[in-house]
Structure 1
Amino acid sequence: MFPDRIFSGMRPTGSLHLGHYHGVLKNWIKLQSEYPCFFCVVDLHALTTHYETPDIIEKNVWEVLIDWLASGIDPAQATLFIQSHVQEHAELSLLLGMSTPLGWLERVPTYKEQIEKLHDKDLDTYGFFGYPVLMAADILLYRASLVPVGEDQVPHVEITREIARRFNYLYGREPGFEDKANEAARKLGGKRSKLYHELRNAYQQEGNEEALEQARALLQESQSLLMSDRERLFGYLEGSRKIILVEPQVMLTEASRMPGLNGQKMSKSYSNMIGLRENKVSIEKKIHKMPTDSARARRSDPGDPNKCPVWRLHQAYTNPATHEWVWRICRNAEAGCLECKQPVIDSILLEQQQMLERAQKYIDDSSLLRAIVADGCDKARKLAYETMRDVREAMGISYS
């Protein structure tokens, strides 16, 4: 079995906002100290919808990377790289597309949603229709076992699992597989080999899930196996096929608690966002203009925080004592809305000050950023090369 590894990506559609930070990046910061993490700017995905305006993509790529570093993503812990700089992404997408049924792509929920949402763009293209295959290739190329996503992205991980399962079924049928698996089992040693077969039988004949986990642990601990032998034995546990591509599991992330300036989800599409590195004057102006409870037409009118978008910002940014203060002054009309907004402004500016300080050195010296990306791309290519070597061999196109 391959070690636990995380892959996640982000399209370069422009500078990031606080919704990205609270919904994605804070989770990445936590995960980078717990797992090997590969964070990718998926610029090829940007071309699926912005193929007519490629000039904006390069600028956005570097802005996104600076935002990641500003937020606290650590290149000493996580691998940061650009999708198009690792050519194996495109190659694996092409090869997976050879066996991916059209019906699978047509039923991806976000396909029709994006068509409706981006009605002003011509998305009747092969690239846009096939983007779930490219997304699957992104994950499978690194044999990532865990993919952190929100609920709306779960279908993309599910189709990735199906694509991996179909690929393993079609191409894991190695000639003489069972004989090779038994030969590999003998390398475990007499007692371990016997235990392996007993656990395999317990799982396959009785459906004993505990036996399956014990067998996997046995293989993981063994130091006497080559990687190819270990892959065969993992595949032999569950059937008669070699595992080439790992079926990833969903790592469900909490929905962002960061609302937009109008109470809706923060999004560039809704023009209701605060940028991750926005300047102080702009932030103050935006929050001062935020709508509040319409019942508070005058300062002396009592209001209801539950009907006010500013209250949702308090929930994301201020402490319980401030929350009590907000409820009191709003319900009793003890203070005006501008006064209520000030603690939110102060908290956002304090958070952003750290981000601005982290970002400045990369803005001042772009070679630092490019060095981080070059190193990340090198690390990504090494894993991608190993995967593609096995994929080409399995598909019969590794000529020697």
Structure 2
Amino acid sequence: MYPDRVVSGMRPTGPLHLGHYHGALKNWVKMQTELPCLFFVADWHALTTNYDDPSIIEKNTWDMLVDWLAAGVDPSQATLFIQSRVPEHAELHLMLSMGTPLGWLERVPTYKDQIEQLAHKDLTTYGFLGYPLLMAADVLIYRASQVPVGEDQIPHVEMTREIARRFNHLYGKEKGFEEKAQEAVKKLGSKRAKLYHELRTEFQQEGKIEALEQAKAMLDDTQNLSMVDRERLFGYLEGSRKLILVEPQVRLTEASRLPGLDGRKMSKSYGNSIFLREDKESVTKKVRTMPTDPARVRRTDPGDPEKCPVWQLHQVYSDQATKDWVVKGCKSAGIGCLECKQPVIDAILREQEPMHERAQQYLDDPSLVRAIIADGCDKARKLAQETMRDVREAMGLGYT
């Protein structure tokens, strides 16, 4: 049985901002205390859109790793590594590419979106088309049971599941699979076991896709199954046999969408970000010069918090008493905009203080980060090599 494991990565695109912290890193810090976690820098993925200028990738990688450590990602609890230092990612990507239908890649929602958003770049490349398959390999190489994503990334995980299922169907040859699957069916209980057999028959004999989906939903809802039994039952349902690659589950993260300084989503490309390790003077200046409700031309003009970007930051950073004070003071012109901004400034600086402290040791001695990553790459590679041994053997490429 493969243990539960979480895998997640980020592309090294430069210093991380507070939007990254609230959208992903806070969840990573929480998850590392619950399950074994592997967090990686997706430097090969950075090449899919920056293949023409890779010079900044290495610096961005080390900067981002310091940001992770500053945010509280703990190398004694989680494995941190760099994707390209574990070449098995690329090997599995190549193996999977042999049997992955082209249409699966072309239908990924973000494929066309990215091409439109990055119209100034030539993205008609094999690497860009195949990046969802590389993402799948990143997860499947560690037999991850959970992938933390926001809702917009769910299609990527669904495709990863389909790829694992197809691979298992093509290459699975587990000895005594049927007997093991039938033993797993008994664990469902008599009522669910009867329904499982009925739905399996409907799908395999009549090709009813809705029967397959109903059976999968039932298995997903069954709590007392081990991951191996669950995957075995998925395979038995579809007529495949051995579990070689694990189908990961979506773990929807509590993505707190932190607005930028102009009220839009915080993004480096919008120039509206506050960075994780930005200095106090810069943070203070940025918030103090934020736009506010345009109706408040003078200090004595009443305003409406709902029309003010600062109010969106209060929603994230302020307690109820402070928010009540803002609403009352803004609508009555009892407080000025600079007064309103001060609690937000104070809260951001409080949040950043431990980040600056944690980062300092790595800035003073960069060899500490190198050592953490060397250790993490070794650990990740051992897991990846185990998977690839099984994959090669299943595909008849073991040469033993």
Q: 1:332: which partner in 2?
A: 332
SS of the residue aligned with 2:120?
coil
Cα distance between partner residues in 1 of 2:318 and 2:124:
46
Change (3 A) 1:339 1:8: same
Cα distance between partner residues in 1 of 2:285 and 2:74:
32
Preserved contact between residue 186 and residue 193 of structure 2 (Cα < 8 Å): no
SS of the residue aligned with 1:135?
helix
For residue 254 of structure 1, report the CA deviation from its aligned partner.
2.7
Cα distance between partner residues in 1 of 2:269 and 2:331:
33
Where does the alignment leave 5 or more consecutive residues of structure 2 unmatched? 200-214
Cα distance between partner residues in 2 of 1:332 and 1:198:
64
Is the counterpart of residue 264 in structure 1 residue 264 in structure 2? Answer: yes
Aligned CA RMSD, in angstroms, stands at: 2.7
Q: 1:74: which partner in 2?
A: 74
* Alignment match of 2:197 (pick from 186, 205, 212): 205
Is the counterpart of residue 376 in structure 1 residue 372 in structure 2? Answer: no
Is the counterpart of residue 317 in structure 1 residue 313 in structure 2? Answer: no
- Summarize the alignment of residues 359-374 of structure 1 with structure 2, pairs less than 5 Å apart: 359-374=359-374
Q: 1:254: which partner in 2?
A: 254
For residue 71 of structure 1, report the CA deviation from its aligned partner.
0.3
Q: 2:2: which partner in 1?
A: 2
- Summarize the alignment of residues 48-127 of structure 1 with structure 2, pairs less than 5 Å apart: 48-127=48-127
Render the CA deviation track for 1:162-182: whole Å, top value 9, x for unaligned.
11111111111x2xx5x6336
SS of the residue aligned with 2:143?
coil
SS of the residue aligned with 1:282?
helix
Question: How many residue pairs end up in the alignment?
Answer: 382
- Summarize the alignment of residues 277-292 of structure 1 with structure 2, pairs less than 5 Å apart: 277-292=277-292
Is the counterpart of residue 180 in structure 1 residue 139 in structure 2? Answer: no
Cα distance between partner residues in 2 of 1:337 and 1:6:
44
Cα distance between partner residues in 2 of 1:62 and 1:284:
27
Cα distance between partner residues in 1 of 2:289 and 2:367:
39
For residue 394 of structure 1, report the CA deviation from its aligned partner.
0.9
Where does the alignment leave 5 or more consecutive residues of structure 1 unmatched? 187-191, 221-229
Cα distance between partner residues in 2 of 1:198 and 1:300:
70
Preserved contact between residue 10 and residue 40 of structure 2 (Cα < 8 Å): yes
The one-letter amino acid paired with 1:180 is G
For residue 256 of structure 1, report the CA deviation from its aligned partner.
2.3
Percentage of pairs with the same residue:
68
The one-letter amino acid paired with 1:315 is Q
Cα distance between partner residues in 2 of 1:387 and 1:291:
53
Preserved contact between residue 184 and residue 233 of structure 1 (Cα < 8 Å): no
Cα distance between partner residues in 1 of 2:228 and 2:33:
26
Is the counterpart of residue 24 in structure 1 residue 30 in structure 2? Answer: no
Render the CA deviation track for 1:181-230: whole Å, top value 9, x for unaligned.
368799xxxxx89967997964642458589958845978xxxxxxxxx9
The one-letter amino acid paired with 1:53 is D
Change (3 A) 1:387 1:203: farther
Preserved contact between residue 177 and residue 241 of structure 2 (Cα < 8 Å): no
TM-score by length of 1: 0.89
Change (3 A) 1:326 1:25: same
Cα distance between partner residues in 1 of 2:153 and 2:376:
25
Render the CA deviation track for 1:2-58: whole Å, top value 9, x for unaligned.
221111100000010000000100011111111111101100000111111111000
Change (3 A) 1:366 1:297: same
Q: 1:151: which partner in 2?
A: 151
Change (3 A) 1:4 1:85: same
Preserved contact between residue 23 and residue 254 of structure 1 (Cα < 8 Å): yes
Preserved contact between residue 293 and residue 304 of structure 2 (Cα < 8 Å): yes
Preserved contact between residue 202 and residue 211 of structure 1 (Cα < 8 Å): no
Change (3 A) 1:127 1:357: same
TM-score by length of 2: 0.89
For residue 350 of structure 1, report the CA deviation from its aligned partner.
1.2
Change (3 A) 1:272 1:215: closer
